[in-house]
Structure 1
Amino acid sequence: MIVVTAPTGQIGQQVVRNLLKQDASVRVIARDPSKLPSRIRSKVDVIEGSHATPEIVKRAFDGAETVFWLVPADEKADSVIAAYVDFSRPAAAALKANRVKRVVSVTALGRNTPLAANAGYVTGSLAMDDLIASTGVDFRALTMPSFMDNLLMQAASIKSQGMFFSPISGDLKLPSCATRDIATVASRLLLDPNWHGREELAVLGPENISFNDMAETMSDVLGNPVRFQQIPFEAYKARFLQFGFSEAMAQGMTDMARAKDRGLDLGVERTSENTTPTSFRQWCQDVLRPTLLG
């Protein structure tokens, strides 16, 4: 039995589909099972509730060999540690109590750089990994740069203004990956019962790319000019506060962006093993363009 958390999110839903294609036995934890497509609901065991709840994770992990662990950050949390570590404490206890063998998690790059100590969401996610590893499970932490798919949050401004925004320098070339490639790597590990120990595995996409490079590619694929605009970190934080984030979580987003601007995501050497196939151009063709076209 494989348990998938956050099965209605960008990554989780793709993981579930991948597992079902291989006829795996899948159980999901979902706050709102109605968000699962009916064709998926009929093929999985659904535990309704939050995977921050002790009773829910204890029931979900009963009889499970492997867990896919993904924490949807709570934008109203009191701190990033509360959002990641405290959220995961019931699961850590349930992993031990139910003797789960393996966990695959989605986390962040940066552990081996001093920047990780004050990197907001990254700092919280790495502390979460330490908590999971302390349970003694065999553990693979998939360490991520920014997702290409995060640009979908700015789809409206790309479509109406031909612009997207970030406080990170437009010329800084950083790794960026597609969520479908993350799901592919995660699914492969979830289906493989033969790995052991604890290890971080980076998922870096096919190349390092700047926001200015992205704007040029988007312009070409969309057939309309798109421009990147760098904004001050203070304005970046203010936007999250306007969206209803708590002070701590808005600051966490800002601290993460500042650390990335200083090179947080450049601390892992690119190899054939951590390079994934979906280029930014391909992602624009397959995901961004259809989204903007409705």
Structure 2
Amino acid sequence: MLVITTPTGQIGRQVVDGLLGSEQPIRVIVRDPSRLPPRVRERVEVVQGSHRDLDVVTEAFAGADAVFWVVPPDQRAESVEDHYVDYTRAACQAIGSHGVKRVVAVSTMGSGIEKNAGHLSASVAKDRMIEDTGVSFRALQLPAFMENLLWQVEAIRNQGAFFWPQFGDRVLPSVATRDIAAKAAELLLDDSWGGQSGVPVVSPDALTPDGMAQVVSEVLDRPVRYQQVGMEAYRATAMQHGASEAWAQGLIDMAVAQNAGAYDEQHRTSQPGPTGFRQWCEEVLRPAFLA
């Protein structure tokens, strides 16, 4: 039995899609089963509720061989680390009580991020909790998501620019969520591995935000520039969109760590995934822009 959390989320739904053709039984945890496509509802077993809830994960993990674990964001959280840790606490109890064999979790790449790196540090803390259960574990170590650009489609259309707090001339490693999901599905279906380790998943590119803007310009056939925004402006924008002060500070701390090169060492030594930034722009960003 394979258990998938966030099956309607950006990564989780692609993991489910990657597993549907297998012979493995699949169970999903979902708050609103009506959001599952009919072809998924027909194929999977559904446990309704939040995977933060001990009763829910206890039911869902019964008989599970492997679990795909994602902590969904909550920009209203009053502590970033507490959000990640509290969300994972019940799962760790259920992993132990049910003897789950393997866990694959969405995490982060980076060095020097155990403290004071916002969401990166919180994700590492969550990993340590899972590891402490003794379960065989693979942390998918990820850089920035290419899909983050989809939040800026209107800015690209109306202002000819996208805006982040990262340095424009420093390489910002990125990854397409399709590659994350493919690696997760591969690990979930492979029952031969054990132990605990990280699995970096990264694109074949070494682009700066300025370089990304050049690719976006070429794919969209219109000039698009990158504009770095100051940290305080970034904080204010996040809070205007509903983020708590703690969540906004976590985003800032993460950006500071990225600007300081937190991803650099792992990026240089990681085996790249298949999807390059230009391909992603052609297949994902351009259709979203034209919609």
Q: TM-score if structure 1 supplies the norm length?
A: 0.96
| Number of the residue aligned with 1:65 | 65
| Number of the residue aligned with 1:142 | 140
1:25-79, CA deviations, whole angstroms, 9 ceiling, x for partnerless residues? 1111111112111111111111111100000000000111000001112111121
CA contact (8 A) 2:202 2:267 kept: no
After TM superposition, the structure 1 = structure 2 runs for residues 106-117 of structure 1, keeping only pairs within 5 Å, are: 106-110=106-110, 113-117=111-115
> Structure 1 residue 266 and structure 2 residue 257: aligned?
no
Distance in 2, matches of 1:41 and 1:270, equals 41
1:196-251, CA deviations, whole angstroms, 9 ceiling, x for partnerless residues? 00001111211221111111101111111111100101101111111111111110
Q: How far apart are 1:114 and its partner, in Å?
A: 2.7
CA contact (8 A) 2:113 2:262 kept: yes
Amino acid at match of 2:71: V
> Structure 1 residue 6 and structure 2 residue 3: aligned?
no
Amino acid at match of 1:62: A
Distance in 1, matches of 2:259 and 2:33, equals 38
| Number of the residue aligned with 1:287 | 284
SS, match of residue 20 in structure 2: helix
Task: Provide structure 1 residue ranges, at least 5 long, that are not aligned to the other structure.
Answer: none
1:132-165, CA deviations, whole angstroms, 9 ceiling, x for partnerless residues? 0001100000110001011111111112221100
CA contact (8 A) 2:173 2:267 kept: no
After TM superposition, the structure 1 = structure 2 runs for residues 205-216 of structure 1, keeping only pairs within 5 Å, are: 205-216=203-214
CA contact (8 A) 1:5 1:69 kept: yes
Give the 4+ runs in structure 1 shifted more than 4 A: none
Distance in 1, matches of 2:184 and 2:241, equals 31
SS, match of residue 73 in structure 1: coil
CA contact (8 A) 1:165 1:230 kept: yes
CA contact (8 A) 1:116 1:259 kept: no
| Number of the residue aligned with 2:194 | 196
Q: How far apart are 1:188 and its partner, in Å?
A: 0.4
Amino acid at match of 1:71: V
Distance in 2, matches of 1:115 and 1:20, equals 36
| Number of the residue aligned with 1:221 | 219
Q: How far apart are 1:24 and its partner, in Å?
A: 2.5
Amino acid at match of 2:188: L
| Number of the residue aligned with 2:119 | 121
CA contact (8 A) 1:174 1:208 kept: yes
Q: TM-score if structure 2 supplies the norm length?
A: 0.97
Q: How far apart are 1:174 and its partner, in Å?
A: 2.3
- Aligned-residue CA RMSD in angstroms? 1.1
Distance in 1, matches of 2:24 and 2:154, equals 38
Amino acid at match of 2:137: F
| Number of the residue aligned with 2:49 | 49
Q: How far apart are 1:274 and its partner, in Å?
A: 2.8
Instruction: Count the aligned residue pairs.
Output: 291
Task: Provide structure 2 residue ranges, at least 5 long, that are not aligned to the other structure.
Answer: none
| Number of the residue aligned with 2:39 | 39
Q: How far apart are 1:269 and its partner, in Å?
A: 5.1
| Number of the residue aligned with 1:162 | 160
1:70-115, CA deviations, whole angstroms, 9 ceiling, x for partnerless residues? 11121111211111011110000000011100000010112xx334
Question: Please, which of 260, 263, 274 is the counterpart of residue 277 of structure 1?
Answer: 274
| Number of the residue aligned with 1:249 | 247
SS, match of residue 200 in structure 1: strand
> Structure 1 residue 76 and structure 2 residue 73: aligned?
no
1:250-275, CA deviations, whole angstroms, 9 ceiling, x for partnerless residues? 1001110111011111131534x631
1:170-192, CA deviations, whole angstroms, 9 ceiling, x for partnerless residues? 11112111000011111100000
Amino acid at match of 1:13: R
Identity over the aligned pairs, expressed in percent?
A: 50
Amino acid at match of 1:185: K
